[in-house]
Structure 1
Amino acid sequence: MTRSAPGERPRPRVVHVPDAHAYVEHVSRLPEDVSVRPAPAVPGATAVPGVPSGPAGRLPRFSWEDGPQWVRAHAAEFDVLHVHFGFERLSVAELTALVAALAEAGRALVWTAHDLTNPHLVDQALHEQQLAVLAEHAAAVLTLTPGAAEEIRRRWGRVATVVPHPHLAPAEVMARVRPGTRGAPVVGLHLGLLRPSTDRRVVLALLDAVTELPTATLRVHLREEVLAAGFPRPDRELVRELHRPSRAGRVDLRVGGRLPEPALWDELSSLSALVLPYRWGTHSGWVESCYDVGTPVVAPESGRWSEQQPVHTFRSGPSGPDRASLVDALRRAVAAGPRRSSVASERLSGRTRGVVEHDRVHRLVAAGDRL
């Protein structure tokens, strides 16, 4: 562990898994550290002003495939393993072997619960078993919203520390002040790779509902892989339903690759609203990204999205979305329009609080506490 101020618990060496992700970057390093501090000794290590960053050099990147062996080989070089996501590929036995290796080495496990229901899976059985292993063995559990914390308490009897999702957009993007609405409103729908939680019924209802806003354009982004032979989740009927109004000029259908930055921020900033077409899920990076740039979000009442940031919700059930509710949510979002004020200061302050809270939790568990 690295040195700390007198009377303060030693600052632990933390390995975040994964380490190369915007969320992890923003909960482990303060905004000013990104530009003025050298890379931390441990991938994703928490950086706090006035605290030395530890010895030079980096650990080899953690690998899920050889997790227990990695822990045994490098136990002397870290104090806390903080798991976020990516464990979906492991069997229950493999995940259990990892937490056992951490216990044998005397290293603490921290888990941030992002997806209590996995948006990439239809059958949640394995995911639920994996979460049960993490909930049982983690020295501390974190999550993003009070509703998720209550679900964790109900399902596993653990008290989760709530640390809100940090910003995702760069500070210079958040600092932009958007002009007033000009021209016809544009409603965005990012379907990506048609993840299993995508509700095709919401998509089809949206094609109809947007006609209630006669001046509005529906802009749909679809990854080109969806149209390729061998795509694992083909939905040719949905694709046909998207192409039909596209040819008629009522839908702006854009098929291509993943939008890189800064094109993504320009795209989100150009929208009057973004619709989340989900059947299930817990938290969403889209909600945070849209909040960063001032774009209203329309989402079903399920999930914890409205606890992350204010969103315009619509009702949706086993038979699909309620059309009147969806139209009402769209109208409210478009009428509200983009937020014109910047949230850069608020978001950067929130990020600082999140980093400090992570550091507090890491210090406690590294010292042997179970929260």
Structure 2
Amino acid sequence: MALTRIVEHSGEPPETLTSRELVRVASVPSSHVYIRHLTPDAATGYPVVRLADPDPDDTRRSAVSRWWPPAMLDPRWVHEHASEFDLFHLQFGFDARTPDELRALTAALREEGKPFVYTVHDLRNPHHADRREHDAQLDVLIPAADALVTLTPGAAAEIERRWKRTAHVLPHPHVVDLPTMRAVQAARRAGRRPADEVAVAAPGAAAAAVAGEFRIGVHVKSLRASMNPLPVVAALVDAVAAIPGARLQVDGHSDVLLDTGKRFDPALAGFLRAAERRGELELRVHDFFTDAELWAYLASLDVSVLPYRFGTHSGWLEACHDLGTAVIAPDCGYYADQGPVFSYHHDERGLDAGSLVAAVRAAAFAAPASPASIDERVRQRDEVAAAHLELYRGLLG
């Protein structure tokens, strides 16, 4: 059969492509939004096929939306399915694998003659309070990879410094779906409340609009190890009190903020309830947002504060850029490399509260954040897809 190849950076016209030229990728995972957006928006003819995520309970079936734990990380899967893929691309999902298990995986790929690509999303695992386990995993994966990809120049420099390996730097594609981006951005241009454009599918996720209000949001989620929200929120209470029209909204999941939750944090919950009673913030406790609810929530904010004390990159930050929500991000990790942020100092040694207050003031008195250009996001997505295709073909000779 014939397919049409996308136009790549050379600007050459499309050419026909036979099925023998298709690149079959065992992608771990394949159903995650980041990996889905490694395919061009107009995907007709893109010659990369990613295997569906196997069902973790029955690897003969596709998992569709359930991909964890990834069955493809088992060396037995590699040997049993070697005829079905040309190249193995690991993104994430290996948290529960020991270094020895990852070593066995890379050995199986070498035995089967399959090139191994690893995209280094996290140089520090946001779920691990102790970095040693993730470092040991990286000490296996990064030297074993035939090619490395990462998202920012800062992360690439760290990879070079720690492992003497060069990583291809390819930016994070958009996170929010393009129709939602178009609707929210059209609302902003028309002077309408952007959260209303997605709130129909997400009732109650967005705050009520108040004229002249500047809404600052912090979401503590389920309190992953990388978060240190209590001093961040305390500093934000002081910052908001000094800015006319500013409102602080704190969201968190039920498992952390309700005393019946499995991960209940009494110190954090107690502080937030007391601050709510004093009228210093609005507290919203709920379960996980759907995508539509998350987009409505982010679109309802003027600025989202990331309360991280360590980390590397952020899909949350990318979603904010897609929707035109400003971001206040810590200077740990490489968040400022991803896109425009207001930075403050926060790492495992502690928070510089003054720098956070200054970041809030800068965000409050700056011009409203400009959402990422949809045309630019589509172009970026196409270029990232073309770069992956070029990388894959180079490894396959």
Over 3 Å counting, the alpha-carbon distance change for 1:354 and 1:19 in structure 2 is same
Letter paired with 1:307: D
> Does the Cα contact within 8 Å between 1:41 and 1:59 map onto a contact in 2?
no
What are the equivalent positions in structure 2 for 1:277-292 lying under 5 Å apart?
277-292=307-322
Give the stretch that moved more between structures: 297-306 or 330-339.
Answer: 330-339
> Does the Cα contact within 8 Å between 1:95 and 1:130 map onto a contact in 2?
yes
Over 3 Å counting, the alpha-carbon distance change for 1:342 and 1:64 in structure 2 is closer
Instruction: Give the structure 2 partner of residue 22 of structure 1.
Output: 33
Partner SS, residue 282 of structure 2: strand
Over 3 Å counting, the alpha-carbon distance change for 1:232 and 1:140 in structure 2 is farther
What are the equivalent positions in structure 2 for 1:83-122 lying under 5 Å apart?
83-122=90-129
Find 2:51's aligned residue among 43, 55, 64.
43
Over 3 Å counting, the alpha-carbon distance change for 1:341 and 1:154 in structure 2 is closer
TM-score normalized by structure 2?
0.81
How far 1:123 sits from its partner (Å)?
A: 0.9
What are the equivalent positions in structure 2 for 1:1-371 lying under 5 Å apart?
10-27=21-38, 29-33=39-43, 42-43=50-51, 63-64=70-71, 67-175=74-182, 176-177=185-186, 178=188, 182-199=211-228, 200-227=230-257, 233-316=263-346, 320-340=350-370, 343-367=373-397
Structure 2: distance between partners of 1:85 and 1:277: 22
Structure 2: distance between partners of 1:215 and 1:73: 62
How far 1:329 sits from its partner (Å)?
A: 0.5
Higher relative contact order, structure no. (Cα contacts within 8 Å, ≥ 6 residues apart): 1
Structure 1: distance between partners of 2:381 and 2:107: 32
How far 1:247 sits from its partner (Å)?
A: 2.2
Partner SS, residue 32 of structure 1: coil
Structure 2: distance between partners of 1:132 and 1:122: 18
How far 1:366 sits from its partner (Å)?
A: 2.2
Q: Deviations over 1:153-181 (max 9, x none)?
A: 11111100000000001112222231569
- Structure 1 residue ranges without an equivalent (≥5): 46-57
Letter paired with 2:88: L
How far 1:284 sits from its partner (Å)?
A: 0.4
Q: Deviations over 1:203-234 (max 9, x none)?
A: 33223322222421111110011145685654
Structure 1: distance between partners of 2:350 and 2:296: 32
Partner SS, residue 298 of structure 1: strand
TM-score normalized by structure 1?
0.87
Over 3 Å counting, the alpha-carbon distance change for 1:365 and 1:195 in structure 2 is same
Give the stretch that moved more between structures: 324-333 or 223-232.
Answer: 223-232
Over 3 Å counting, the alpha-carbon distance change for 1:77 and 1:7 in structure 2 is closer
Structure 1: distance between partners of 2:269 and 2:303: 22
Give the stretch that moved more between structures: 331-340 or 267-276.
Answer: 331-340
Over 3 Å counting, the alpha-carbon distance change for 1:233 and 1:205 in structure 2 is farther
> Does the Cα contact within 8 Å between 1:209 and 1:323 map onto a contact in 2?
no
How far 1:320 sits from its partner (Å)?
A: 2.8
Q: Deviations over 1:96-147 (max 9, x none)?
A: 1111111101111100000101111011111011111111111100000001
Structure 2: distance between partners of 1:227 and 1:7: 55
Structure 2: distance between partners of 1:122 and 1:318: 10
Partner SS, residue 217 of structure 2: strand
Structure 1: distance between partners of 2:286 and 2:167: 40
- Structure 2 residue ranges without an equivalent (≥5): 6-14, 54-59, 194-210
- Matched-pair identity in %: 40
Q: Deviations over 1:247-283 (max 9, x none)?
A: 2332111111111122211211111100000000000
Letter paired with 2:340: P
> Does the Cα contact within 8 Å between 1:301 and 1:314 map onto a contact in 2?
yes
Letter paired with 1:31: D
Letter paired with 2:224: R
How far 1:38 sits from its partner (Å)?
A: 11
